[in-house]
Amino acid sequence: MPLTSEPQGFLFLSDILKKKVINAGGQHLGQIVDAVAEFVEPYPIVTGLILKVSAHKNALLPWKSVLSIGEDACVANITAHALAGYKKQGNAVLLKDALMDKQVVDTNGARIRRVNDLQFLQAHHILYLIHVDVGFRGLMRRVGLTKPMDKMMQMLFDYTLADQLISWKFAQPLSSPDLLRLNIAQNRLSQIHPADLADILEDLDIRRRSAVFQALDKETAAETLEETDPKIQVSLIADLNSAQASDIIEEMSLSEATDLLGDLPKEKAKRILKEMEKTVAEDVRELLAHPEKEAGGMMTTSFLRFRPSTTVQQAMEMIRAEGEDVDLIYYGYITDEKEHLLGVVTLRDLLLASPETTLNNIMDSRIISVKLKDNDDTIAENFAKYGVTAIPVVDTKGKLQGAIMFKNLLEVVASHLGK
């Protein structure tokens, strides 16, 4: 297929590898063993082919020197004497070495896949990497069994096995820390739901798991950490220095951060707490003082509280100002000057009330609460009986200490199932 006539067509890396290369005069130049690409957006561009020219020597054939790639050979417009050794420059990557048989995250399907082949589009004398092949057919293509397999499938099942291709736009390579640190669509990972990203991390081996986690921005890392198994949380944080760990943990909800720090070795937790903002660290230390299965150990102190004389308009302004930094936003708790719990309002109550209405006129004073030392059974009974999504926690004097979200109860209960 002559490239000089500006064709458009597809090639697989397995079709190129091991192909002999000759020049226009018929001189043997070598055998293709890899392809070099620049990782640019939206698709990597092949800049050259790596040739094996002798038992102990490889050389770079610039892509601009390639005239055609046929069934039997690749023809190039270059002499053997002009071939130079390969030296990595900039974001250049050896595709076979970096991607074949390696893992990628299918960011569209939120799954880890194994790369069996790579598909290129050649257009206007440029070769683009456009798909990764993760299917069985790609594996058969590499070992030269595609035609026999297709024939057998057609004869036995009247079926042709399709290629399983993932667009490069949806593929995030996990093959090496070097690839991960390239500024190539790192936002792809952050677009995956944290729960899916947590599943992906749990499926990776320790080295790759740590590399992927450290490639995330701190907000995405925090959200993902909250969805990850506690044992894996500990291992991921253990690989970070105290400053890095504190930056991520500060982005977590207060209750989740407390649970994580409580699972870490005491010395590691102390070092992280020293790096954290003083007010956040104090809140965490207060929560750490309570046993995990008691209300005080499940609650968060990051929630909305108002005075009875606060107007709906003022409350909404406070929510806009503080809402991003609190764990619980659907409920707002009404307290007096001594922090005694008087009532509760929901976000729905606020949205439906007139702006000038004071909260004491719309709050529900039929308070459902638990004490600091109430256990998980008592808390679960209250959630089941009253159908709320959060329950306030008070001390023996009725002063508001925190609030338990239903998901925090579930996490505590689930962690002890089967034990």
Token pair recorded at residue 218:
């701190």
- Tokens 């192909």, residue located: 19
Quote the pLDDT of residue 412.
65
Range of the domain at 23: 3-95
Number of domains in the chain: 4
Q: Domain with 254 in it: what CATH number?
A: 1.25.60.10
The verdict on residue 186 lying in a domain is: no
One-letter amino acid identity for 113? R
Q: Are residues 161 and 248 in the same domain?
A: no
Q: Which DSSP symbol is given to 185?
A: S
What are the mean pLDDT values of the chain's consecutive 10-residue runs (419 residues total)? Answer: 53 91 90 91 91 88 91 90 82 86 82 90 90 87 76 74 84 65 58 86 84 85 91 91 93 89 92 93 90 89 94 95 88 96 95 96 94 92 90 95 88 54
What φ, ψ does residue 21 adopt, rounded to 5°? Answer: -120, 130
The verdict on residue 185 lying in a domain is: no
Quote the pLDDT of residue 316.
96
End-of-domain residue from the set 117, 145, 173: 173
Token pair recorded at residue 419:
């034990």
The verdict on residue 180 lying in a domain is: no
Q: Are residues 54 and 31 in the same domain?
A: yes
Q: Are residues 303 and 409 in the same domain?
A: yes
Q: Domain with 41 in it: what CATH number?
A: 2.30.30.240
End-of-domain residue from the set 41, 65, 95: 95
End-of-domain residue from the set 232, 266, 289: 289
> Any idea of the CA torsion for 199, 202, 207, 208, to the nearest 10 degrees?
-20
Q: Are residues 204 and 108 in the same domain?
A: no
